[in-house]
Amino acid sequence: MIRNVTETKTPGADFDAIVIGGGFGGLYSVHKLRNEQGLHVQAYDNASDVGGTWYWNRYPGALSDTESFCYRFSFDTELLQQGTWQSRYLTQPEILDYLKSVADRFDLRKSYQFNTKIVSTSFDENTGLWHVVTDKGETASAKYLITGLGLLSAINKPQFQGFDDYRGEVYHTGAWPEGIDFSGKRVGIVGTGSTGIQVIIALAPVVEHLTVFQRSAQYVVPIGNWPEDTETIDAYKANYDAIWKQIKGSQVAFGFAESTVPGQGLSEAERERVFDEAWQRGGGFRFMFETFSDVATSEEVNASAASFIKRKIAKIVKDPDIARKLTPTDIYAKRPLCATDYYGVYNRKNVLLQDVKEDPIAEFTAKGIRLASGVEHELDAVIFATGFDAVDGNYTKIDIRGRGGVTIRDKWADGPLGYLGMMESDFPNMFMILGPNGPFTNLPPSIESQVEWISDTIQTMESEGLSTIEPTQAAEDEWVEMCRNIANMTLFPRAESWIFGANIPGKKNAVMFYLGGIGNYRAALQAERESGYKSMIFDRHVALT
Question: Rule CB under 6 A: which residues touch ligand FAD?
Answer: 20-26, 44-47, 52-53, 55, 57, 62, 64-66, 71, 117-118, 148-150, 152-153, 195, 394, 398, 433-434, 442-443, 447
Residue 338: strand pairing partners? 221
Applying the rule CB under 6 A, the residues between 484 and 513 that interact with ligand NA7 are 498, 503
* Contact status: 356 vs ligand NA7 (CB under 6 A): yes
Cα–Cα separations (whole angstroms), residue 186 to 132, 147, 378, 442: 45, 40, 7, 35
Q: Do 144 and 432 meet the contact criterion of CB atoms below 8 Å apart?
A: no
In the list ligand NA7, ligand FAD, none, the entry touching 37 (Cβ below 5 to 8 angstroms by class) is none
Integer Cα distance of 274 and 305 in angstroms: 10
Cβ atoms within 10 Å, residue 363: 15
Continuous H helices in 398-442 = 408-411
* Contact status: 193 vs ligand NA7 (CB under 6 A): yes
* Contact status: 446 vs ligand NA7 (CB under 6 A): no
In the list ligand FAD, ligand NA7, none, the entry touching 148 (Cβ below 5 to 8 angstroms by class) is ligand FAD
Tell me how far, at minimum, the Cβ of 398 lies from ligand FAD, in Å. 5
Find, among 19, 9, 28, 6, the residue nearest to 446 by Cα: 28
Of 93-101, 103-111, 381-389, 467-475, the window that binds ligand NA7 (rule: CB under 6 A) is: 381-389
Q: Is 519 exposed, middle or buried (CB count within 10 Å of its CB: 0-12, 13-18, 19+)?
A: middle
Is the Cα dihedral 408, 410, 414, 419 positive or negative?
negative
Tell me how far, at minimum, the Cβ of 438 lies from ligand FAD, in Å. 10
In the list ligand NA7, ligand FAD, none, the entry touching 91 (Cβ below 5 to 8 angstroms by class) is none
Q: Is 97 exposed, middle or buried (CB count within 10 Å of its CB: 0-12, 13-18, 19+)?
A: middle
Tell me how far, at minimum, the Cβ of 79 lies from ligand FAD, in Å. 17
* Contact status: 21 vs ligand NA7 (CB under 6 A): no
Cβ atoms within 10 Å, residue 504: 18
In the list ligand FAD, ligand NA7, none, the entry touching 447 (Cβ below 5 to 8 angstroms by class) is ligand FAD
Query: What is the distance between the terminal CA atoms of the chain, rounded to a whole angstrom?
Result: 40
Tell me how far, at minimum, the Cβ of 152 lies from ligand NA7, in Å. 4
Closer to ligand FAD at the Cβ: 134 or 264? 134
Applying the rule CB under 6 A, the residues between 311 and 350 that interact with ligand NA7 are 335
In the list ligand FAD, ligand NA7, none, the entry touching 196 (Cβ below 5 to 8 angstroms by class) is ligand NA7
Cα–Cα separations (whole angstroms), residue 322 to 9, 89, 164, 215, 348: 64, 29, 31, 14, 12
In the list ligand NA7, ligand FAD, none, the entry touching 219 (Cβ below 5 to 8 angstroms by class) is none
* Contact status: 60 vs ligand NA7 (CB under 6 A): no
Closer to ligand FAD at the Cβ: 47 or 278? 47
Closer to ligand NA7 at the Cβ: 152 or 400? 152
In the list ligand NA7, ligand FAD, none, the entry touching 386 (Cβ below 5 to 8 angstroms by class) is ligand NA7
Is the Cα dihedral 200, 201, 203, 206 positive or negative?
positive
In the list ligand FAD, ligand NA7, none, the entry touching 111 (Cβ below 5 to 8 angstroms by class) is none
Q: Do 44 and 112 meet the contact criterion of CB atoms below 8 Å apart?
A: yes
Closer to ligand NA7 at the Cβ: 188 or 387? 387
Q: Do 287 and 275 meet the contact criterion of CB atoms below 8 Å apart?
A: yes
Integer Cα distance of 541 and 545 in angstroms: 6
Q: What DSSP line would sit under 283-299, residue for residue?
A: -HHHHHHTS-TTTTT-H
Q: For ligand NA7, which residue of 118, 190, 296, 309 counts as binding (CB under 6 A)?
A: 190
Q: Which residues lie near ligand NA7 (CB under 6 A)?
A: 152, 158, 190-196, 213, 215-216, 335, 356, 385-388, 498, 503
